[in-house]
């Protein structure tokens, strides 16, 4: 039997309401959610707690904020942690959930949370927002003058609690970087269902913002596939009624490329949203993100330098937010103190560099932007072709055909016919193109750049070069000349 | 005919950091081993059942998220029960949460039944040389 076609079409209201209740019935705190009351509570929040508005204000005032990661189980301690972040200048505050909450193991969480509350100890690696529920979490939101965003959970409990972004929890990142067996068809269906909830609130003038991760470049790999998936997610979310979204741009360490991608991603997302007539979907900002492998836990100097590199790129490209991890990222759960020193150092960069409003010219940015743009358009054209104009249908077929592909994916349904290496300047290039539908001059460009490195090193780039490059950024050496990691 | 040893690879528990085990699997294949590549998020039970099924000579686990000790609490006991006492056990990665001295980690995991323990970023070639040596010592290569 032929499988029914998944199309980029809005999910109907009856189906939506049924799914929403089913989701909330998974734990007793779901009963605390009254949909209309949740919308009314959201509308009562001051602008300083509305993510989308905070981002727009930062942009208009030429300022920026760290978007950190933070979560601890006991409410009072969580309030303290978030107040600490606010004091160090953070106005975009995460509510990072613990691993068990992310896996839906609420009963297990309850036992541990009870013990945390009894002993005051943090036995979970995040804030268990489902078990804490609406009443408790509103206390957190009302205690700190900042906008809140849930991390690692997609639930209306977060909306009813006054968090003003909505994470679908099911993006390309979930499928391509964290899932072993999920098919692309399953992913897009779930993504549509989740973003439809944000659409329901938008119909009631509650604008929930979503940050788009796209398909993570898990290793040195050009960002064109990632930017295509950002566009695809934006178009799908907008069809479900989402009115505010912004991209995270995964910085890979070559400054010309990182700056080019930060310019390109929001510009192309805007263009495609307009082209498909989702003109009222706002992009309130752009957020460079610290994504590749971290320095090992003992290398604190490297961890500081790495987070500040991303902060500098964000400051020079005049972004309004930067997604940063603390120096404890590789070691485990950050403490209040490591958060303070980590984000304090980023804040220092913002204050010194961003405030200068520097107009900087980095050689190569224009060329990198043009190359990636050509690649993105080539893939988008092929997707729309495969889907006969339908974005969803085209996405599914593109993944199945390797027109969208990534190296090193844990997902066994991914083709994995592509590979990236760095060039003589540390920029990410395609070593193997797989079925990516690039024009010949683009392929030639990548080959030429790789050849420059081959000449310097006196050997052909191959799979083993790609393997050595996996550690390049985390070891603080992105130009792969020998002696490589001495 | 020369005997080709069978080895199992994968990340243990709920760890999604798959690249290390992918790199290692290919290096093992290139070095002539038969590799049963289980990929990410392999339960201890799955390692045991696949080892029985494939008559594996070694299990090479990866873990980067710091919770390996928790994941492997009962593993040694279970593999002994399953009659896999002769299977070599290697593990590598970021094996505990927090900053640590790698020298403190090795005894911990040796006590859990592991023959060899590697720090994060260890070269596959080192593990493969050790594996050849250990298999030869057991007369399996």
- Ordered DSSP codes for A393-428: HHHHHHHHHTSS--TT-S-TTS---EEEEE-TTS-E
The per-residue pLDDT for B101 is 79
* Residue in A177, A330, A471 closest to B94 by CB: A330
The per-residue pLDDT for B100 is 75
Determine whether B17 is an active site residue: yes
Between A238-247, A415-424, B59-68, the lowest mean confidence (pLDDT) is in B59-68
**Residue A1's pLDDT band (boundaries 50, 70, 90)?**
very low
The per-residue pLDDT for B53 is 97
The per-residue pLDDT for B118 is 94
- Asked if residue A289 has pLDDT above 90, the reply is yes
Under 8 Å between Cβ of B4 and B34: yes
* Catalytic residue (choose from B17, B115, B130, B134): B17
Contacts of A295 in chain B (CB under 8 A): none
The per-residue pLDDT for A309 is 95
**pLDDT for A126-140, tens place per residue?**
899 999 999 999 999
Under 8 Å between Cβ of B5 and B36: no
Under 8 Å between Cβ of B69 and B112: yes
- Asked if residue A189 has pLDDT above 90, the reply is no
The per-residue pLDDT for A201 is 96
- Asked if residue A2 has pLDDT above 70, the reply is no
Kindly report the number of other CB atoms within 10 A of residue A87's CB atom: 10
- Asked if residue A372 has pLDDT above 50, the reply is yes
Best of A173, A292, A467 to disrupt the B interface (most B CBs within 10 Å) is A467
Q: Which residues of A touch B (CB under 8 A)?
A: 99, 103, 177-178, 180, 218-219, 296-298, 330-333, 408-410, 412, 463, 467, 470-471
CATH 3.40.50.920 is right for the domain spanning A13-356:
no
Q: If you measure CA to CA, which chain A residue comes closest to B22?
A: A408
pLDDT over 70 percentage in chain A: 96
Question: For A339-355, what is the mean pLDDT?
Answer: 90
- For Cα atoms B69, A306, B70, give the angle at the middle one, nearest 5 degrees: 5
Q: Which residues of B touch A (CB under 8 A)?
A: 14, 16, 18-19, 22-23, 26, 39-41, 66, 94, 97-100, 119-121
Domain borders along chain B are: 6-137
Residue bearing tokens 């839906």 = A104
Determine whether B57 is an active site residue: no
- Asked if residue B111 has pLDDT above 60, the reply is yes
pLDDT over 70 percentage in chain B: 99
**pLDDT for A197-234, tens place per residue?**
999 999 999 999 999 999 988 899 999 999 999 999 99
Contacts of B94 in chain A (CB under 8 A): 296-297, 330
**pLDDT for A7-22, tens place per residue?**
888 888 888 898 899 8
Distances (CA, A) of A180 to A160, A417, B41, B140: 32, 17, 8, 33
- Å between A354 CA and nearest CA of chain B: 33
Nearest-Å Rg of the Cα atoms of chain A is 22
ipTM: 0.85
Contacts of A177 in chain B (CB under 8 A): 16
- Å between B37 CA and nearest CA of chain A: 11
Find all residues with CB under 8 Å of B140, minimum gap 6, and list them: B3, B5, B57
In the A/B pair of chains, how many CB contacts fall below 8 A?
44
The per-residue pLDDT for A484 is 46
Mean of all residue pLDDT scores within chain A: 91
Q: If you measure CA to CA, which chain B residue comes closest to A102?
A: B14
* Residue in B39, B66, B121 closest to A180 by CB: B39
Phi–psi pair at A406, nearest 5 degrees: -150, 145
- Asked if residue B1 has pLDDT above 80, the reply is no
Question: For A314-319, what is the mean pLDDT?
Answer: 96
Q: Do A296 and B94 touch (CB under 8 A)?
A: yes
The per-residue pLDDT for A274 is 96
Helix (H) or strand (E) holding A349, with range, is helix A336-353
Q: Do B19 and A218 touch (CB under 8 A)?
A: yes
Is pLDDT larger for residue B16 or for residue A259?
A: A259
| DSSP β-bridge partners for residue A287 | A248
**Residue A331's pLDDT band (boundaries 50, 70, 90)?**
confident
**Cα separation of A30 and A193, whole Å?**
18
Contacts of A298 in chain B (CB under 8 A): 99-100
**pLDDT for B71-83, tens place per residue?**
898 999 999 999 9
A458: region left, alpha or beta (phi > 0 left; psi from -120 to 50 alpha) = left
We find that the CATH architecture of domain B6-137 is 3-Layer(aba) Sandwich (3.40)
- Asked if residue A374 has pLDDT above 80, the reply is yes
Handedness of CA A272, A274, A276, A282 (dihedral sign): positive
- Asked if residue A237 has pLDDT above 60, the reply is yes
The per-residue pLDDT for A5 is 61
- Å between A291 CA and nearest CA of chain B: 13
Contacts of A330 in chain B (CB under 8 A): 94
Contacts of B22 in chain A (CB under 8 A): 408
Question: For A365-380, what is the mean pLDDT?
Answer: 98
């Amino acid at each position: 039997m032929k499988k029914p076609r998944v199309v980029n079409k809005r999910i109907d209201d009856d189906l939506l309401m049924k799914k929403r209740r089913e989701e909330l019935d998974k734990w007793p705190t779901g009963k605390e959610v009254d949909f209309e009351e949740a919308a009314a509570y959201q509308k009562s929040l001051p602008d300083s707690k509305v993510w989308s508005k905070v981002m727009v204000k930062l942009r208009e005032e030429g300022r920026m904020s760290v978007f950190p990661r933070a979560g601890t189980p006991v409410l009072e301690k969580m309030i303290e942690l978030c107040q600490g972040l606010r004091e160090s200048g953070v106005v975009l505050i995460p509510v990072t959930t613990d691993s068990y909450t992310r896996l839906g193991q609420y009963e297990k969480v309850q036992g541990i949370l009870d013990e945390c509350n009894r002993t005051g100890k943090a036995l979970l690696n995040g804030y268990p927002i489902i078990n804490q529920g609406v009443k408790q979490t509103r206390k957190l939101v009302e205690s700190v003058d900042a906008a809140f965003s849930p991390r690692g959970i997609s639930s209306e409990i977060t909306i009813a609690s006054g968090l003003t972004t909505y994470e679908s929890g099911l993006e390309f990142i979930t499928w391509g970087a964290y899932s072993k067996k999920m098919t692309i068809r399953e992913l897009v269906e779930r993504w549509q269902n989740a973003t439809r909830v944000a659409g329901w609130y938008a119909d009631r003038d509650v604008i929930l913002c979503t940050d788009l991760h796209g398909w993570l470049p898990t290793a040195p790999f050009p960002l064109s596939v990632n930017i295509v998936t950002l566009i695809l997610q934006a178009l799908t979310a907008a069809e479900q009624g989402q009115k505010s979204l912004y991209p995270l741009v995964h910085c890979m360490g070559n400054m010309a490329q990182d700056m080019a991608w930060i310019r390109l991603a929001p510009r192309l997302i805007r263009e495609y949203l307009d082209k498909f007539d989702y003109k009222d979907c706002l992009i309130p900002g752009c957020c460079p993100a610290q994504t590749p492998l971290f320095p090992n836990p003992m290398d604190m100097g490297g961890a500081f330098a790495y987070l500040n590199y991303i902060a500098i790129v964000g400051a020079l490209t005049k972004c309004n937010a930067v997604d940063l991890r603390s120096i404890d990222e590789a070691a485990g759960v950050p403490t209040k103190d490591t958060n303070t020193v980590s984000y304090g150092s980023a804040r220092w960069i913002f204050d010194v560099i961003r405030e200068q409003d520097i107009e900087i010219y980095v050689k190569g940015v224009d060329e990198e932007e043009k190359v990636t743009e050509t690649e993105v358009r080539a893939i988008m054209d092929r997707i729309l072709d495969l889907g006969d104009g339908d974005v969803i249908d085209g996405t599914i077929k593109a993944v199945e055909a390797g027109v969208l592909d990534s190296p090193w994916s844990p997902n066994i349904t991914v083709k994995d016919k592509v590979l990236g290496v760095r060039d003589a300047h540390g920029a990410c290039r395609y070593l193997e193109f797989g079925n990516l539908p690039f024009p010949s001059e683009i392929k030639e460009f990548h080959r030429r750049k790789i050849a420059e490195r081959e000449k310097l090193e006196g050997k052909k780039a191959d799979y083993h070069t790609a393997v050595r490059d996996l550690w390049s950024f985390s070891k603080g050496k992105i130009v792969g000349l020998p002696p490589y990691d001495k | 005919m020369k005997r080709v040893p069978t080895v199992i690879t994968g990340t243990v528990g709920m760890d999604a950091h798959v690249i290390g085990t992918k790199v290692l699997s290919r290096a093992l294949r290139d070095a002539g081993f038969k590799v049963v590549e289980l990929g990410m998020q392999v339960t201890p039970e799955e390692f045991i059942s696949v080892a029985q099924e494939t008559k594996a000579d070694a299990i090479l686990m990866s873990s980067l998220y710091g919770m390996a000790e928790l994941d492997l609490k009962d593993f040694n006991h279970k593999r002994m029960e399953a009659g896999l006492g002769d299977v070599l056990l290697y593990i590598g990665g970021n094996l505990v949460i927090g900053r640590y001295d790698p020298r403190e980690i090795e005894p911990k995991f040796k006590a859990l039944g592991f023959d060899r323990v590697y720090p994060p970023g260890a070269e596959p070639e080192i593990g493969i040389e050790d594996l050849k040596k250990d298999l030869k010592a057991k007369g399996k290569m």
